[in-house]
Amino acid sequence: MKNICYSLAAIVVVFTMPVAAQETVFSPSTTETCLQEMSVLTDPQNCIGASANICMEQSEGGSSTVGMGNCFNSELQYWDARLNVAYQQVRSNAEAIDAEMAEVGSSAPSQAQALLEMQRAWIAYRDATCIYQRTLWGGGTGGGPASVACHMFRTAEQALFLESQLGDQ
C-alpha cells in the first residue's frame, strides 16, 4: 500500500506545483455533509467534487488552472485518506476470513490476495485513465487540472466501493 501512496504523491506534486503563491480555501465539509444527507436511493458518487467546487468558488484564483488543480488536489487528498483507511479495514477483514477458511480446511481462494490484486489493477486503470484525460487537452494548460480531477474522481469512487464492502460495521 505504501507504493500506492508514493506513486500518488509523485503525481500530485507534479500537477499541483503553484506558478504563483495562491491561498486555497478548502474544507471537506461540503462533501461530508452531502454524504451524510444521502438517502438509500441516492448515489454517493454525486458528492464527489462538491468540496473542490466550493474551494474553486471561494479561493482567490480558484478558477485558474493552478487554483483548480489545488482545489482538486485538496479533495483528492481527502478521498485518498478515506481510501487508505477503508482498504486497511477491508484487508484486515479479508485476512480474518482467510484464517477462518484455512482453519476449517477450505481451499477457497484468498480474499486478502484477491483484494491486493484488485487494488493493483485499479491503480493501473486509474493512472491510464487519467493520462488519457490529460491527453484530451492537447498539451494545453487545462490538462493538469483535468488529470488531478480524474485522480480525485477515480480515487473517490474506489474509496466509496471499498467502504461499501465494510457494510454497517
Render pLDDT for 76-95 as a digit per residue (tens, 0 to 9).
Answer: 999 999 999 999 999 999 99
In the 8-state DSSP scheme, what is residue 49?
A: T
Domain ranges of the chain: 2-166
* 137 pLDDT higher than 50: yes
Per-residue pLDDT tens over the stretch 108-124: 999 999 999 999 999 99
Q: Which long-range contacts (CB under 8 A, 24 or more apart) does 138-141 make?
A: 141/65
Say how far apart CA 8 and CA 16 lie, in whole Å: 12
Is residue 74 within 8 Å of residue 53, measured between CB atoms?
no
Say how far apart CA 45 and CA 134 lie, in whole Å: 22
Q: Among positive and negative, which fits the CA dihedral 110, 104, 164, 76? A: negative
pLDDT of residue 97: 95
Total residue count of the chain as it appears in this document: 169
Is the pTM above the cut of 0.75?
A: yes
Is residue 24 within 8 Å of residue 78, measured between CB atoms?
no
Per-residue pLDDT tens over the stretch 58-67: 988 888 999 9
**Torsion region of 24: left, alpha or beta (phi above 0 gives left; psi -120 to 50 gives alpha):** beta
37-43 average pLDDT score:
72
pLDDT of residue 22: 60
